[in-house]
Structure 1
Amino acid sequence: MKTREELQARLARGEAEVWTAMEFKTRIREGDVPGVDEVDVVTCATFGVMSGTAAVMCVPVTKPGVFERAEAVTMEGVPCYPGPCPNERLGLVDLMVYGTAKASPRYGGGHLLRDLADGKEVEVIVESGGKTYEHMTHIDEIPFARVITTRSAFKNYAAFVNRGREAIDTIFSVTPLAGETSQATVSGCGEINPLANDPYLTHIRPGTPLMLNGSAGYVMGEGTRSSPEKPNIAAFADLAGMVSEFMGGFVTSAGPECLTSVAVPLPVLDDADIARLSILDEGCLLPVSDIETRTPLAETTYADIWQGTETAVTVRPEQCLFCGTCTAAEACPTRAIMMGGGIMHARCVACGTCVSACPNGVYSMEMGTVPVEGGRVPVALRQSDRNRAERICAYLKEEILAGVFTP
């Protein structure tokens, strides 16, 4: 065993052994279980669609005395909720914006938060007293901008299929989810998810440091709909300092959603920590349910999703026929596809939509199958990006070793 004080002292001296979840899992798969004396901190992360994301901001709009108080606010067309503080006659607006708020079918709160993190100017429109006030702002001008999650980093999600005859629009699909149990949609990063490695919230408690979208923040406690079987957490961090590639918007067949990342450094103090961290995809349960009735149909593990599959899209640009309208670019939920077989990797989350959307086989990726009623159903969409989550694990490790982030 080692104490937290000993661990903090090792970190302060620059002597701590910090591993990513992938490095730890590699040792477990090799049958070489690490000892408590070999590793001090393991960085775990998850990245994907997390609807329970919002931001609270204080946004300057005019000089003091121009309007009394905001009655309605939009940012880049995204509806916001003014208040609770009225900031009467100060020219400022306190507001909340939801990650799932919609400006259009292709742009929502998640896109807005990423644009702000990218340093882009956004338009703020305030209605007050029958008049409209417009202002262009950016993150350096906003004195307070904090992202919060009401529920994030579920230990495990569910895979969904549609047993009905007709395709249906859902937040769990980019194109309407085909019927007759012909395709599956999944979420979750399996063995590297922080809560898969600390399922009883032994270390992930209120006040625990974490990274939210690459920005240092803290755990607030358990999130909404958290349960012993499927725990999740609420967290917060400042928008300033967030990494745009670790967040964003994601367009589903039911409208815009929000991409969020959570990374947690888990301490290794005793053999119980080693045992929890030894979880592999094969031990992370993944229930399969019907999308409309939510009836459980089967249970598998994340090994079906992340083991023996691919985590990045393969592109064959020579097969592009330069169609008048690129169906893959039109369908892409993150606007990552370019005409001619190009991919903007800073935006691609390897969801797999382009694979089925392109009729010419420009894009391919093996995404696995899930068992349902005696058969195997191919995964058509992943709403979590394991590859990016692994990059976030490595990013957090580097920040710890550089002394920028303190666990």
Structure 2
Amino acid sequence: MSNDLRVITVDELKKYIRNNEEDKIDEVDIVTTATCGIMSGTMGVFHIPFNEVFKKADEIYLNDIKGVVGVCPNEYLGKVDAIFYGEVGFLFKDLVKGKVVEAKAVCGNKTYKNEVTIEDLPTAKMIGTRMAFKNYTAITNLSDEEVNTIFHRLPLKKGESSFSGCGMYNPLENMIIKDEKDIIGKKALLNGAESIILGFGTRSSIKKPNLMLSANMKEMDPYYLGGFLTSSGIEIYNTIAIPIKVDEHKESLKKLDKDIALPLVNIFGREIIDVGNYAEVWENVDLRPKIYPDRCKECKECLAEKYCPTFAIKRENGKIKISEDCFGCGICNICPYGVFKTKLGSICGIPITCRQSDRKRALKLAKELKKKIENGEFKI
């Protein structure tokens, strides 16, 4: 029975290892691991109803974001099967929050509209085609040319770097996978919803694996997913938690951030410049910004508010507010008066100026998974 298992979170386990108490791992059955970050390749599969009957849709939109019609034609049913991917982070968050979105179907020369919530959609499934990458690279720019990139909210300048990956908390860093069969059908939490691991994702290899997962979006918690603006468009972040059996993965579970390589590459050509490790970017850093409201000059245009990639910063009645949408990315350090300060660390001596993974969300989901296992709500 799941609720008879001895369960701890990955954070608790790593504290044992750091304190030279690794023998305590033998008292544990399950470790709940987790990661959160930008995960391109996330798509939604929806069945969208309309109030009028039409032959079949030629085009489909949700909040003016275009999807792909198919695969079933649903001829003369006034319903559309559709796939949405790309710049869908904020759309998916709105759907999971239960917000009303506008659906539009184009059939011939006529457009059909309907206002729907996620509960109006008979099917709303998320499929992540490549999630929870075990191996990431940090990105820097060696040229004098600023570059717009998905790896940074602002144009990436010379002497700056960004990175992704939750290091020693990442599920795949704590597992030994010899074959895809070892993971197919295993359960996980995807944005709080129970999910199934379908196997390896795209661009996956034994040395650099990632996962393909699927879950019902109606069961997700909006805190764990959302949009993230970059200087090259909108990305989506997700949060994944996976239980790991100690007896099958004991040695991998002992790894710390310092043991996990983080190569630094040039944005142009992606050649490796140097190799650091995740301790450089995750030890002695802030997971959320420190706020010094007395330093605020009440600028006409607040740069931190303008460039926050998740729209978490708002100024209301002269007061600064940061919502739970904060990702801890560090972009608000752009404030020239130091109202926001986030210690981000560096990689191979180059300062991090944008962080695209969030350990705070990851650890929260790891704790949630632990509780679900202990309560018997999540069966191993």
Q: C-alpha offsets along residues 263-320 of structure 1, whole Å, 9 cap, x if unaligned?
A: 10111225xx221111110111100000011010000110001112221110111111
Q: C-alpha offsets along residues 179-238 of structure 1, whole Å, 9 cap, x if unaligned?
A: 2xx110000000000001014367961100011111101101111111222111111000
Q: Within 5 Å, which residues of 2 pair with 1:377-388? A: 377-388=350-361
TM-aligned CA distance change 1:193 to 1:44, over 3 Å: same
Q: Percent identity?
A: 37
Matched-pair contact (CA < 8 Å) for 1:35–1:274: no
Equivalent position of 1:290 in the other structure? 266
- Compute the displacement of 1:15 (Å): 2.1
- Compute the displacement of 1:344 (Å): 3.1
Matched-pair contact (CA < 8 Å) for 1:304–1:370: yes
Q: C-alpha offsets along residues 61-90 of structure 1, whole Å, 9 cap, x if unaligned?
A: 124xx2100100110111100111011111
User: Aligned partners of 2:322 and 2:221: how far apart in 1?
Assistant: 16
TM-score by length of 1: 0.90
Of the candidates 177, 186, 190, which is equivalent to residue 163 of structure 2?
186
Residue type of the alignment partner of 1:78: I
Structure 1 residue 342 corresponds to structure 2 residue 331: no
Equivalent position of 2:11 in the other structure? 22
Residue type of the alignment partner of 2:16: R
Aligned-partner SS, 1:263: strand
Q: Any unmatched runs of 5+ in structure 1?
A: 1-8, 102-108
User: Aligned partners of 1:322 and 1:263: how far apart in 2?
Assistant: 40
Structure 1 residue 127 corresponds to structure 2 residue 114: no
- Compute the displacement of 1:18 (Å): 0.9
- Compute the displacement of 1:151 (Å): 0.5
TM-aligned CA distance change 1:60 to 1:197, over 3 Å: same
User: Aligned partners of 1:219 and 1:370: how far apart in 2?
Assistant: 32
Q: C-alpha offsets along residues 152-184 of structure 1, whole Å, 9 cap, x if unaligned?
A: 1011210000111110000001000002xx110
Q: Within 5 Å, which residues of 2 pair with 1:3-402? A: 9=1, 11=2, 14-35=3-24, 37-63=26-52, 66-98=53-85, 100-101=86-87, 109-179=88-158, 182-200=159-177, 205-269=183-247, 273-339=249-315, 340=318, 342-355=320-333, 357-371=334-348, 376-402=349-375
Please, which moves more after superposition, 83-92 or 340-349?
340-349
Aligned-partner SS, 1:269: helix
Residue type of the alignment partner of 1:68: K
Q: C-alpha offsets along residues 227-260 of structure 1, whole Å, 9 cap, x if unaligned?
A: 2221111110000110101000000000100111
TM-aligned CA distance change 1:265 to 1:141, over 3 Å: same
Q: Any unmatched runs of 5+ in structure 2?
A: none
Matched-pair contact (CA < 8 Å) for 2:38–2:235: yes
User: Aligned partners of 1:222 and 1:313: how far apart in 2?
Assistant: 35
RMSD, aligned CA: 1.4
User: Aligned partners of 1:119 and 1:233: how far apart in 2?
Assistant: 27
TM-aligned CA distance change 1:141 to 1:34, over 3 Å: farther
Aligned-partner SS, 1:234: strand
Aligned-partner SS, 1:240: helix
TM-score by length of 2: 0.96
Paired residues in the alignment total 377
Residue type of the alignment partner of 2:323: H
TM-aligned CA distance change 1:173 to 1:344, over 3 Å: same
User: Aligned partners of 1:214 and 1:71: how far apart in 2?
Assistant: 34
Matched-pair contact (CA < 8 Å) for 1:328–1:358: yes
User: Aligned partners of 1:387 and 1:261: how far apart in 2?
Assistant: 10
